[in-house]
Amino acid sequence: MEMPQMFRILFAAALAAAQPLPALAGLQGATLTIELQVKTHQGRVMIAIYDEAGWQGGKPVRVAMADAAPARVAAEIAGLAPGRYAVKLFQDLDGDGRMGSNPFGMPTEPFGFSRDAMGAAGQPAWADAAFEVTAAGATQTITLR
């Protein structure tokens, strides 16, 4: 996948994440905890969670935001069905709700993927980023680059 296409997908995830989420309290299912390693504590981290069908340009199964200001930057996503998922995220430093990129499509804001996977010229392959969420839940620690 080309870099510009990957970032269009992240833009769409950011726009979806900016929309209010329904209250997740009381939802049945697993909880995914995402611990974020950020370089700067500003802005928000836009998070998109995908199943395999949506990974290559489809819709995320869930979106969320995390405030990057606290010392511990994390998000908890409740109500996920057990299964395999992968995460795409970026830190919106300028607050515009979009992934910043230069004229060549290269990111100008920090981004990351589950399992800290990286693609050679775009997003990583599903197999490199996917992880299992069990009924007991799961935790992913992602370093933004």
pLDDT digits (tens, 9 = 90+) for 90-133: 999 999 999 999 999 899 999 999 999 999 888 999 999 999 99
Contact 29, 80 (CB under 8 A): yes
| Nearest one of 87, 69, 74 to 123, comparing CA atoms | 87
3-22+29-143 is classed in which CATH architecture? Sandwich (2.60)
pLDDT in tens, 49-91: 999 999 999 999 999 999 998 889 999 999 999 999 999 999 9
C-alpha to C-alpha distances, 9 to 2, 45, 59, 107, nearest whole angstrom? 11, 15, 9, 13
Q: Is 55 helix (H, G, I), strand (E, B) or coil?
A: coil
Q: What is the pLDDT of residue 121?
A: 81
Q: What is the pLDDT of residue 45?
A: 97
Q: Give yes or no for residue 27 having a pLDDT over 80.
A: no
* C-alpha–C-alpha distance, residues 133 and 50, integer Å: 12
Contact 66, 90 (CB under 8 A): no
Q: What is the pLDDT of residue 16?
A: 52
pTM here is: 0.82
Bridge partners of 138, per DSSP, are 32
* C-alpha–C-alpha distance, residues 11 and 63, integer Å: 12
Q: Where are the domains of the chain?
A: 3-22+29-143
Q: What is the pLDDT of residue 93?
A: 96
Q: Is 49 helix (H, G, I), strand (E, B) or coil?
A: strand
Q: Give yes or no for residue 3 having a pLDDT over 70.
A: no
Q: Is 52 helix (H, G, I), strand (E, B) or coil?
A: helix
| Residue 23's pLDDT band (cuts 50, 70, 90) | very low
* C-alpha–C-alpha distance, residues 13 and 2, integer Å: 17
Amino acid (one-letter) located at 101 = S
Contact 33, 74 (CB under 8 A): yes
